[in-house]
Structure 1
Amino acid sequence: MELYTVVTSALCTLLLPLLLIITATKLWELYCFSRRDTSCHWPLPPGTMGLPFFGETLQMVLQRRKFLQLKRRKYGHIYKTHLFGTPTVRVLGADNVRHILLGEHRLVSVQWPASVRTILGSGCLSNLHDSQHKDMKKVIMQAFSREALENYVPVMEEEMKSAIDMWLQSGSCVLVYPAVKRLMFRIAMRLLLGFEPAQMDPTHEQPLVEAFEEMIRNLFSLPIDVPFSGLYRGLRARDIIHAKIEENIKEKLRQEPKSSCKDALQLLIDHSRKNGQPVDLQALKESATELLFGGHGTTASAATSLITFLALHKEVVQKVRQELESKGLLSNKPDEKKDLSIEILQQLTYTGCVLKETLRLSPPVPGGFRVARKTFVLNGYQIPKGWNVIYSIADTHDVAEIFPNKDEFDPDRFLTPFPEDSSRFSFIPFGGGVRSCVGKEFAKILLKIFIVELCRNCDWDLLNGPPTMKTGPIVYPVDNLPTIFKPFSSTC
């Protein structure tokens, strides 16, 4: 009898929690299913909604690529899930993405997860809508005009030469990803926010870089602001960044611009003064933080991928050098060496193909977030009003039929133009539609200069071979890419 009682008690102890979990999960699935639009006869996409409240957020954050690959293999190009507290549909493939990106304001509108909106703030471009977004984008685009970009080239070249010289003189391995992040951060601080080099000594710069890393790490977290949570850490890091930017804004407000070519922050300040209203300091800090995030995080990721692919494909480096030599950019004689300019950079066709191929295989930003403004049908499935919609850049590149041998690094594939209809949404490293990246021309020029300076100044080898890549939320190498740099000397 006692044995029976013990066994019964043990079974109850084990089974009751299990039954409660199963019941809660089933009720959660029923609740999520009830969120469908019953007025639409089309079914919801296939997929699972995960655990109550948490959904599949934890699996996605912890496993990222593995999680997304499993989902894609099991459910195809459209599937449902539950991420960051909201039912979500994830889409990939050129045709599906085309509907999302061209459906802005009609089918969908931008809506990043609550943690992103909280940390970056409501005043930044990514979180603005309709006329406010249009007006702000118009202002910021002035900082990326051809004239502005032409003025940026010498600063970009100066910073890159200085960084590469340090890598060459180190005499030991360089952890590329942190080094490139510091480089791109300095460039963004100078060109986008107007910081002077004297304001960016390593003592003050490093804490700011670390704060940015902490903020970015916690951008995509559960929307719970309690001590030690991801959102809490992200907000504390954001406050450090805001304090530094506020110093710069107040300095700009006290002085007249020193140059006719204004940085993006100065343009935003001038725009905020137009109507005679008091300057909205918080909105300016949010916009400046977003500019720094977009201006250095993504370019650092892409530059790290460039070093990786070029190290693994020495024949591509040789072809780049041949192109540089043909344009007079490889000469060792100072009187023969041409200065870089927008015009010359645009003539570097093959170098541009190297950049495109890098962005195809390793886009820094894996996708974008939208929310359904109304229920609509996509490829036979209903997307209910209010559900989040994530479009995937990386997976869309991966499944694009216009790229044969898609796993190979082959810049030559971009030498022949693709038909416009088939390629427009098969290759979208900067997004598309009215929400495409405002700084894409800035990024292209910056990364082209990076390729030029690398290939005409050094050779390099990866100490650990091809790296394992992780997304958090920007793509980066897990080992930070330890690399040995050696001087390259042209025989020209």
Structure 2
Amino acid sequence: MALSALLATFLCTIVLPVLLFLVAVKLWEVYMIRGRDPSCSAPLPPGSMGLPFIGETLQLILQRRKFLRMKREKYGYIYRTHLFGNPTVRVTGADNVRHILLGEHKLVSVQWPASVRTILGSDTLSNVHGALHKSKKKAIMRAFSRDALENYIPVIREEVRAAVQDWLQREVVLVYPEMLRLMFRIAMRILLGFAPEQIKTDEQQLVEAFQEMIKNLFSLPIDVPFSGLYRGLKARNFIHAKIEENIKKKLQESESKNIDALQQLIDNSRKSGEPFSMQAIKESATELLFGGHETTASTATSLIMFLGLNPEVMDRLRQEIMDKEEQGMHLDNLNIEALEQLKYTGCVIKETLRINPPVPGGFRVALKTFELNGFQIPKGWNVIYSICDTHDVAEIFPNKEEFQPERFMTKLTEDPSSRFQYIPFGGGSRMCVGKEFAKVLLKIFLVEVVMQSNWTLLNGPPTMKTGPTVYPVDNLPTKFTSYVRT
């Protein structure tokens, strides 16, 4: 009798809940698969939908690149999952990605997860469509013209030189946090037109708030106290308050000679004849700040890592700079033309972006049901195209695991047939508007840091994580010493 009671208790407290959970998961899977379009004969991609309602979001957040690699190895280049509250198809490989990127407005449309849209705002460049997207993009592109980039060079050099001199005085430098601060200062000055004294006053609070916002950018869309979305919004509101102060100063100026991206957005708003929206400008400024410093900080950190692990690349990079100096290039008077002559330096940046693209992919939504490589992509499902996985499987790159900048000395990525095998800045009409700005900024960074210092990675090769951009888990502790020419 006692044994029967114990068995019944065991069944009720352990076995039954487990069975009910498994049944719920199976019913969830069946329910989500019913979302396929019966008018299309192609099957859904292989994959799994995870737990009810939350899908596989938690696994992605916790495991990031490990999760993505595991899914790709198990299901191939196109698979289904459920992320951030939506059924999703993840797409890898040049041919598949080409269809997505060139299918903008026909097959797919940009749509970031609800948490991203809530925090960054629905009227930002990455979220708007049609004429509004073209108008905003045109305004921002003026801030990234060749003349504008030329004007930014002294500010970039000033900030990088000051940062390197500071690193040389320290026993240990945590590279990733330092890169975030450096690129944040540069973005605040160049993109948002903040004066150096303004940044100095609020820098620490702004950097911390921005990191809190970014950390919670991809979260479950649940706005309750202490949730990721709640914390992200709180941090964003602090940033908006500081940006609003700067916008009001700009509005008081009847005519500004500033060429920063924020000024371009304000001028565009004035000329459009539409009612001025402070909220829309703040959202656009916050998006610029994210795109203009988070991604470059990630890549600058990876540059320090790869050069620290590959001293022969550092030597060749320095030699190129010194050869150009002998040919008349002056480090104290860098310009766009001189930077363009640093071909190997550019290859070091390209190779870094190949292995560690700062943004792992892009989000779209299917506007209609369509077929991709034999699989059905149902209308309304999210589509994520993967940058990091596409680089991992690209056929044009032999010895993919090795850091070999010289591979880019040829024109291999300029061949139309290999166009979508290398996509660090995305592609199509949504290609990163700040691409040329990033190239100039990173080249100046390399020239300054390489010609002023040597460095040693104190922990060796780090473990890399994505959240939402790529960064080293240990923050890359490094010892910098002065470089003396021989």
TM-score tier by shorter-chain length is over 0.9
The aligned counterpart of 1:218 is: 216
Kindly report which structure 2 residues correspond to 1:321-332, keeping only aligned pairs within 5 A, or say none.
321-328=318-325
> How far apart are the structure 1 equivalents of 2:274 and 2:364?
32
> How far apart are the structure 2 equivalents of 1:299 and 1:275?
31
Kindly report which structure 2 residues correspond to 1:92-171, keeping only aligned pairs within 5 A, or say none.
92-170=92-170
| Residue 260 of structure 2, aligned match among 260, 263, 266 | 263
Kindly report which structure 2 residues correspond to 1:200-215, keeping only aligned pairs within 5 A, or say none.
200-201=199-200, 203-215=201-213
Kindly indicate whether the alpha-carbon contact (under 8 Å) linking 1:173 and 1:483 is maintained by their aligned counterparts in 2: yes
Kindly indicate whether the alpha-carbon contact (under 8 Å) linking 1:49 and 1:81 is maintained by their aligned counterparts in 2: yes
The aligned counterpart of 1:412 is: 406
The aligned counterpart of 1:198 is: 197
The aligned counterpart of 1:36 is: 36
- The answer for unaligned runs of 5 or more in structure 1 is none
Q: Deviations over 1:128-179 (max 9, x none)?
A: 0111111110111000000000000111111100110111122x01011111
Tell me which moved more, 268-277 or 82-91.
268-277
| Residue 421 of structure 1, aligned match among 397, 411, 416 | 416
Equivalent position SS for 2:421: coil
Equivalent position SS for 1:81: strand
Deviation at 1:326, TM superposition (A): 1.2
Is the aligned partner of 1:233 residue 2:236? no
The aligned counterpart of 2:18 is: 18
Equivalent position SS for 2:39: coil
Tell me which moved more, 472-481 or 413-422.
413-422
Deviation at 1:329, TM superposition (A): 7.6
Deviation at 1:11, TM superposition (A): 1.6
Rate the CA distance shift 1:257–1:476 in 2: closer, same or farther, 3 A.
farther
Kindly report which structure 2 residues correspond to 1:70-81, keeping only aligned pairs within 5 A, or say none.
70-81=70-81
> How far apart are the structure 2 equivalents of 1:424 and 1:412?
19
Equivalent position SS for 2:465: strand
Deviation at 1:76, TM superposition (A): 0.6
| Residue 304 of structure 1, aligned match among 298, 301, 311 | 301
Kindly indicate whether the alpha-carbon contact (under 8 Å) linking 1:218 and 1:230 is maintained by their aligned counterparts in 2: yes
Q: Which amino acid aligns with 1:129?
A: H
Q: State the TM-score, normalizing by the size of structure 2.
A: 0.98
> How far apart are the structure 2 equivalents of 1:134 and 1:146?
20
The aligned counterpart of 2:182 is: 183
Rate the CA distance shift 1:107–1:61 in 2: closer, same or farther, 3 A.
same
The aligned counterpart of 1:484 is: 479
Is the aligned partner of 1:251 residue 2:262? no
> How far apart are the structure 2 equivalents of 1:326 and 1:450?
18
| Residue 344 of structure 1, aligned match among 338, 347, 356 | 338
Q: Which amino acid aligns with 1:117?
A: R
Q: Which amino acid aligns with 1:383?
A: I
Equivalent position SS for 1:328: helix
Is the aligned partner of 1:57 residue 2:54? no
Q: Which amino acid aligns with 2:447?
A: V
> How far apart are the structure 2 equivalents of 1:179 and 1:285?
25
Rate the CA distance shift 1:329–1:444 in 2: closer, same or farther, 3 A.
farther
Kindly indicate whether the alpha-carbon contact (under 8 Å) linking 2:250 and 2:256 is maintained by their aligned counterparts in 1: no
> How far apart are the structure 1 equivalents of 2:408 and 2:478?
28
Q: Which amino acid aligns with 1:283?
A: A
The aligned counterpart of 1:367 is: 361
Q: Which amino acid aligns with 1:429?
A: P
The aligned counterpart of 2:396 is: 402
The aligned counterpart of 2:275 is: 278
Q: Which amino acid aligns with 2:192?
A: L
Deviation at 1:20, TM superposition (A): 1.1
Equivalent position SS for 1:389: strand
Equivalent position SS for 2:362: strand
The aligned counterpart of 2:449 is: 454
Deviation at 1:338, TM superposition (A): 5.0
Deviation at 1:276, TM superposition (A): 3.8
Rate the CA distance shift 1:245–1:205 in 2: closer, same or farther, 3 A.
same
Rate the CA distance shift 1:65–1:194 in 2: closer, same or farther, 3 A.
same
Task: Say what the alpha-carbon RMSD is for the aligned residues.
Answer: 1.4
Give the length in aligned residue pairs: 485
Q: State the TM-score, normalizing by the size of structure 1.
A: 0.97
Deviation at 1:336, TM superposition (A): 6.4
Deviation at 1:226, TM superposition (A): 0.3
The aligned counterpart of 2:313 is: 316
Q: Deviations over 1:357-387 (max 9, x none)?
A: 0000000000000000000000000000000
Equivalent position SS for 2:87: strand
Deviation at 1:13, TM superposition (A): 2.2
Rate the CA distance shift 1:309–1:18 in 2: closer, same or farther, 3 A.
same
Tell me which moved more, 47-56 or 20-29.
20-29
Kindly indicate whether the alpha-carbon contact (under 8 Å) linking 1:189 and 1:292 is maintained by their aligned counterparts in 2: yes
- The answer for unaligned runs of 5 or more in structure 2 is none
Kindly indicate whether the alpha-carbon contact (under 8 Å) linking 1:321 and 1:330 is maintained by their aligned counterparts in 2: no
Deviation at 1:200, TM superposition (A): 1.3
Q: Deviations over 1:252-276 (max 9, x none)?
A: 00124553x5111111111111144
Deviation at 1:66, TM superposition (A): 1.4
Q: Which runs of 4+ in 1 moved over 3 A?
A: 275-278, 335-338
Kindly indicate whether the alpha-carbon contact (under 8 Å) linking 1:330 and 1:456 is maintained by their aligned counterparts in 2: no
Kindly indicate whether the alpha-carbon contact (under 8 Å) linking 2:217 and 2:229 is maintained by their aligned counterparts in 1: yes
Kindly indicate whether the alpha-carbon contact (under 8 Å) linking 1:119 and 1:238 is maintained by their aligned counterparts in 2: yes
Tell me which moved more, 83-92 or 14-23.
14-23
Q: Deviations over 1:239-293 (max 9, x none)?
A: 000000000000100124553x511111111111114443200000000000000
> How far apart are the structure 1 equivalents of 2:462 and 2:311?
17
Deviation at 1:348, TM superposition (A): 0.4
Rate the CA distance shift 1:314–1:41 in 2: closer, same or farther, 3 A.
same
Tell me which moved more, 411-420 or 369-378.
411-420
The aligned counterpart of 1:89 is: 89
Q: Deviations over 1:210-261 (max 9, x none)?
A: 00000000000000000000000000000000000000000100124553x5
Equivalent position SS for 2:319: helix
Kindly indicate whether the alpha-carbon contact (under 8 Å) linking 2:81 and 2:90 is maintained by their aligned counterparts in 1: yes
Percent identity, aligned pairs only? 69
The aligned counterpart of 1:464 is: 459
